[in-house]
Structure formats: structure tokens, C-alpha cells
Structure 1
């Protein structure tokens, strides 16, 4: 990598890190061009050079953290031997990621990210194709072995990830009178999810 490329990566990282801090501290309304450039110490011209717009910066930030989450999930999944242990690994890895990277989880589960994902659904899946294909292959392998129910991949994804997303959003919002316990969720959810996707849920 040339010195110029290295400086470019450092500048982009400064902008992305500042954007995440602002989003976590102030929400979407705090994520403005002026706030990001001030918090990062990077010029307005550099922001537009690297990301094109504030939306471009936001999309790059969401992609960065989605990539990290998916990479951790895939790594955990590939270390398992059965569909049942794979489900357990997905649940525990996801919840651990959320606990360790709360700011990023807030971003990934925000209304703005949902909106951007709806607009760019195909581009998003294409950008994560390598990781998603690993999950699809894992699912098909265990469908073929008779462990997982022979359901369409989108339905299996929803049955596995839907409960996780619901729990994470409640935990992040803090709306419950009694704080939702992620450790308890990590104990309870794997078996409940397994029953919903197993070919024979006994």
C-alpha cells in the first residue's frame, strides 16, 4: 500500500469512527456533515471525496459493521458440526457482538438503516454475497442431511434471525420495566429457534 493510500484509509477511518460516536451519542439528528467533520478533524472536501455524501458515509458505516457481524457469525458457524449447535452458535455470537459493540448495534438496528436497506436491498445482498453464500450452503447441507426443515432459505433466515433481531431491539431501546437479560436470551433462544427450524423438533 502506498503512503497516499494509507493516508486515505486513515482519513476514512477517522470519518467513520466519528460518525458512529455521533450516532450513538445523539441519534440520527446528530449525524450532520458539520458535526462529523468537526468531531473527526477531517475536512469537508475529504468527506465528499471518500464517501460522496452524508448518505454515502452512513451506508459505508453500516456496511462496515454488518460485514464484521456476518464475519463473526460465519466463523462461529463453520466451527460447528450439527445444525443444532450451529443455531446455538449463531444466537450466542450475535448477542455477544451486540453486547460488545452496542454503538454499532444501535446503528445496525436503527430506522435509518432499515430505510436505507429497503432502498438498497439488492445492492446490500450483492455486497455481502460471499458471506451470505456460506450461510446458504450451510443451510442446504443440513436440509439435505435431514436436520433442518426443507423450507425456502428466506423463511429459514427469518425463523433464525427474526427472534434475535426482536430481542436485540428491545434490549437496545430499554423500553422494558425490567431490563432484558441477554444472558438469559442466550440460554433460552437457541432451543426455541431450533424447534422452529428442525425437520424433527423432538
Structure 2
């Protein structure tokens, strides 16, 4: 019973933290705001996450896991390197449109103080999802359908354009239309990673 209640408290803190962030943005994202919104004590927050930064890192990992999960699901519905690459681009942009608070938290966290101190934990949490995406891509790279580059560079070519498009859209930059990006970016991104036999 205690473990179940502990998981429920942790989930309530994460849900409440996202709700506070969605409502107030980074400026209002404080331990006091989260504990008031959830009714969970500061002591309990520290018990589950070690610190407010630990809670923020856990929320970042949860949001990132959901995003990467949607990309992997799109890959697994795809048969070819081209359809898979295009599907990842579309899945990323659609996830951002449908999960604005989570996407904003991910993109704003690139500049947050908690990220460097929890980078190792966050990387470990992301590792299985990244490994799954690379496992899907590997046979296409070996067959020459996807360009043979170090994995981080392939990731930059596929995710970089959609991440920057999303970041600008989330910040309200003029001229960024996600529907237009969904129509135009998938083929452009595919051309950037297409191999000699693609």
C-alpha cells in the first residue's frame, strides 16, 4: 500500500508541476506553487525527488519519454527509410501541437539550471528510447538507404529542424505555421539523410 501511495504522490507532483508550468510559465514555476497546487508537502517533494530541481528533471524526463515514444511508434508503423524519416518529422510536430505544455517545458528546459546537474540521469532515462530509434535506422544505414554519419549527426539532421521549428512556434515567433511545417519539412528532412540507395 505504501509503495502505491508513494507512486501516486510522485505522479501527483509531476502532474501538478506541469499544470503550474502551463499556467504560469517559467517565472511562476516554483516549489511553493507546486506544493500549493498539489497539496503535497515540501518534505514529501524532497523525499520523492531530492529537490525541486530533481522534480523538474523528472518532469523533463517524463515529457521527453512521451515525445520519443511517439516518434518510435511512428517509426514502427513505417516500412521504408523514407516513410520512417518522414513519419518521425510529422509525429514530432503533431506531438508538439497536441502537448503544448510538455513541449514548452522540454524546449525551455534547454536553458534551465536543473539540466546540467541532472544531465547524467536524464541521458540514462533517454537512452533506451534513443537506442530503439537507432536500432530501427541501423539496417537502413547499412543498406545505404540512409547516409552513414555518426548517430548524433543523423539525429541533428532529423530532429534539429523540427525542434527549432517547434521552439519558435512555442515562443510565438511570427511566420511559423506547424501545419505548413508538417506539409513541407518531412520530404526536406528525408532528403538531408537519404543515402546513395535511398
- Is the TM value for this pair above 0.5? yes
Matches within 5 A, 1:50-89: 50-89=48-87
1:39-73 CA-partner distances (Å, limit 9, x unpaired) = 11111111111111100000010011111111111
**Aligned counterparts, 1:84-103, within 5 A:** 84-103=82-101
8 Å CA contact 1:62, 1:113 repeated in 2: no
**Structure-2 residue corresponding to 1:136:** 134
Which deviates more, 114-123 or 74-83? 114-123
Equivalence map 1:1-202=2 (5 Å): 3-111=1-109, 116-176=114-174, 178=175, 180-200=176-196
TM-score (norm: length of structure 2): 0.92
Per-residue deviation, residues 104-146 of structure 1 (Å, max 9, x unmatched): 0010000456654445444332222221111112222111111
C-alpha contact (below 8 Å) 1:195/1:201 kept by paired residues: no
Hey, what's the Cα distance between the residues in 1 that align with 2:173 and 2:159?
21
TM-score by length of 1: 0.91
**d(CA) in 2 for partners of 1:39 and 1:8?**
18
Using CA pairs below 8 Å that are at least 6 residues apart, which structure has the higher relative contact order? 2
Post-superposition CA distance 1:139-167 (Å, at most 9, x none): 22111111111111111110000000111
CA distance in 1, matches of 2:47, 2:107: 27
Q: 1:3-39 CA deviation, whole Å, 9 max, x = no partner?
A: 2122112211211111112112222221211111101
Q: What is the distance in 2 between the residues matched to 1:29 and 1:112? A: 15
**How many equivalent pairs are there?**
198
Q: Contact conserved, 1:107 with 1:113, CA < 8 A, in 2? A: no
| Residues 169 and 84 of structure 1, relative CA distance in 2, 3 Å threshold | same
